[in-house]
């Protein structure tokens, strides 16, 4: 299920099956899914780095469900779940050319804190973004 979402959402940066299994079973991760007509159509996951900090590691939605607010809902619900765990700040990395994701993160109050050169491979930089949850 999550593997299909990964395959349809990412090219080279996909999570392998073993990591998907970890993020859905480990207490160190919060992972939520979105469903439409009893089918999983998206997911979001955060790594609980410390008691008060989390890192969004993935948010992905099947192509047929994009543009319907699913990613925003997944992000909002994930942030709410993080707050319940005592998280006060959440960070993430996003490709500098990923306009759709950047628009989502800016709309949710994330701010660019820095740039990571070659994060996704040679010449593929990422922004490090962060948001306070308190």
Tens of pLDDT, residues 57-115: 999 999 999 999 999 999 999 999 999 999 999 999 999 999 999 999 999 999 999 99
* Higher-pLDDT residue of 57, 20: 57
In the chain, what are the domains? 2-132 (3.40.630.30)
pTM: 0.88
pLDDT at residue 110, rounded to an integer: 98
pLDDT at residue 134, rounded to an integer: 82
CA-based nearest residue to 78, from 53, 44, 121, 41: 44
The answer to whether residues 104 and 88 touch, using CB atoms and an 8 Å cutoff, is no
């Amino acid at each position: 299920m999550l593997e299909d979402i990964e395959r349809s959402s990412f090219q080279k940066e996909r999570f392998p099956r073993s990591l998907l299994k970890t993020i859905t079973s480990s207490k160190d991760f919060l992972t939520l899914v979105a469903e439409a007509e009893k089918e999983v159509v998206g997911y979001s996951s955060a790594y609980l780095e410390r008691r008060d900090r989390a890192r969004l590691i993935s948010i992905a939605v099947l192509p047929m469900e994009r543009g319907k607010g699913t990613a925003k809902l997944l992000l909002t619900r994930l942030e709410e779940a993080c707050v319940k765990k005592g998280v006060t700040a959440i960070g993430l990395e996003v490709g500098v050319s990923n306009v759709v994701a950047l628009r989502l993160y800016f709309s949710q109050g994330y701010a660019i804190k820095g740039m990571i050169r070659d994060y996704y491979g040679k010449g593929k930089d990422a922004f490090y973004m962060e948001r306070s949850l308190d």
